[in-house]
Amino acid sequence: MPVKSVTVRVPAKVNLQLSVGPRESDGFHNLITVFQAISIFDDVTVTCGPPKSGVSISITGDQIHGVPADDSNLAMKAIALMAKEYDLEIDAHVEIKKSIPVAGGMAGGSADAAAAIVAIDYLYSLGMNREEMAEIAAQLGTDVPFMLSGGTAIGTGHGDDLTAALSRGTYHWVLALSSIGLSTPAVYNECDRLRSESEIAEPQTNEQLMQALLAADPKAVGEHLVNDLQAAACSLRPALRLVLDVGQEYGALGALVSGSGPTVAFLVTDEEAGLDLAVALTASGVVGSAARAYGPVAGAKVLT
C-alpha cells in the first residue's frame, strides 16, 4: 500500500430537536432528531503496522477519562466490521486525539467510529461511496451515519435515516461540560419511567424549528430547541437544572441538554456573546468548564 498513515478529523454534534416515541418491541424508540455538527473535533490517526501485528489503540488529548483503549472502543469496532465486510487483514495502530467530551451527549464515540470508517476506506483504497459508508455506520450506532456527513440533518427511525435539513447561517454555541458522563441507556430508561403513565405520541418534526433554520434566525431557533430526554437527564443529574437556568439568566437565546446529556448546549447570538457566556458560566461555579463552538461544520474528513 502506498499510503501508510492517515488522519481523519471528525466533529461533535448537538441535537436541536430530539423527540422520542414510545419504546418499541425491539427495545428501541422511534426518534425525530435534528442534528448539527459543531466545531469541536477529534482527530483519529490510523497507521499501518507490521503484518500479523493486529490492531492496537491509544488515546491522547484533553478528554481521555473514561475512553476505552481496547476492542470495546467504537473506532476499534468499526475497524473490525470493515475488516469483516471487505475481507481485509488489518494491521494498524489507532491513535485518537480526544477533544469531544466522553459520555456527554455529543457523539464522541460515534464520531471516532465514523472517522475509522473513512480512514480504512482511504488506507485500503476501497473507493466506498457515502451510502456504503452509512450502511456500515448504521450497524455501529444511531449517531454514526450523521458523523460521516455532518452539517445539519434530520434523523428519523432510530435516528440513522438521514435527510439534509434546509438550513442557512452559522450558529454559535457554548457547551457547559461535565466531568462525569451519563449513560445513554440509563437516560432512556428514566425517560420511559417518567412517561410511563402518559400517552406518548409518535414524534413529529418541529416545523417552527425548521422554518427558523431556513430563515437563519438564531433567536427563533433558540426558542424552539427541544429534547424529550432533558427531563430524564435532569432527574438523574438534578444539578443540570441549575446550569440551564444560569445560562439563560446570562442571556442565552436558548438552552437544552444535548442528546442524553450531561453536556448543556446554549445558543448565543455571536462569537462575542459566546465568550461572555462562557466566562459567566465558569465564574458562577455551576460548571467545571465551558467550551465555545460554531456550526454547522462538515463531517468526517481526511486531513491533507
pLDDT in tens, the chain (304 residues): 456 999 999 999 999 999 999 888 888 889 999 999 999 999 999 999 999 999 999 999 988 888 889 999 999 999 999 999 999 999 999 999 999 987 788 999 999 999 999 999 999 999 999 999 999 999 999 899 999 999 999 999 888 899 999 999 999 999 998 878 888 899 999 999 998 766 788 899 999 999 999 999 999 999 999 999 999 999 999 999 999 999 999 999 999 999 888 999 999 999 999 999 999 999 998 898 899 999 999 999 999 6
Residues linked to residue 11 through DSSP beta bridges, in sequence order: 41
Backbone angles phi, psi at 254, to 5 degrees: -170, 160
Cell numbers standing for residue 147:
458523523
For the four alpha carbons of 296, 262, 253 and 268, in that order, the dihedral sign comes to negative
Domains 5-165 and 171-295 equal at CATH topology level: no
pLDDT digits (tens, 9 = 90+) for 99-117: 998 778 899 999 999 999 9
Torsion angle of the four alpha carbons 174, 175, 176, 178, in this order, in degrees rounded to the nearest 10: -160
Q: φ, ψ for residue 155 (rounded to 5)? A: -110, 135
- Which CA distances in Å does 275 have to 2, 63, 71, 116, 221? 45, 21, 39, 33, 20
H or E segment and range at residue 148: helix 144-149
pTM: 0.93
Q: What is the DSSP letter of 101?
A: P
Amino acid (1-letter code) at residue 303: L
Question: 187-192 — which CB contacts under 8 Å span 24+ positions?
Answer: 187/229, 187/232, 187/233, 187/236, 187/260, 187/261, 188/20, 188/29, 188/229, 188/232, 188/260, 190/232, 190/233, 190/235, 190/236, 191/20, 191/228, 191/229, 191/231, 191/232, 192/23
Radius of gyration of the chain (CA): 19
CA 230/CA 211 separation, integer angstroms: 23
Tell me, which fold does domain 171-295 have in CATH? Alpha-Beta Plaits (3.30.70)
Pinpoint the alpha helices (H) of 17-143: 74-85, 108-123, 130-138
CATH T-level topology, domain 5-165: Ribosomal Protein S5; domain 2 (3.30.230)
- 202, 152 contact by CB (below 8 A): no
The answer to whether the Cα torsion of 170, 102, 304, 300 is positive or negative is: negative
CA angle 101, 107, 111 (to 5 degrees): 100
Catalytic residue, chosen from 43, 112, 121, 143, is: 143
Task: Report domain extents, the chain.
Answer: 5-165, 171-295
Q: What is the pLDDT of residues 192-229, one digit of tens each?
A: 999 876 678 889 999 999 999 999 999 999 999 999 99
DSSP designation for 150 = B
| Phi then psi dihedrals of residue 99, to 5 deg | -125, -15
The secondary structure of residue 262, as a DSSP letter, is S
pLDDT for 197? 62
Q: For this structure, is 43 an active site residue?
A: no
Whether residue 301 lies in the annotated active site: no
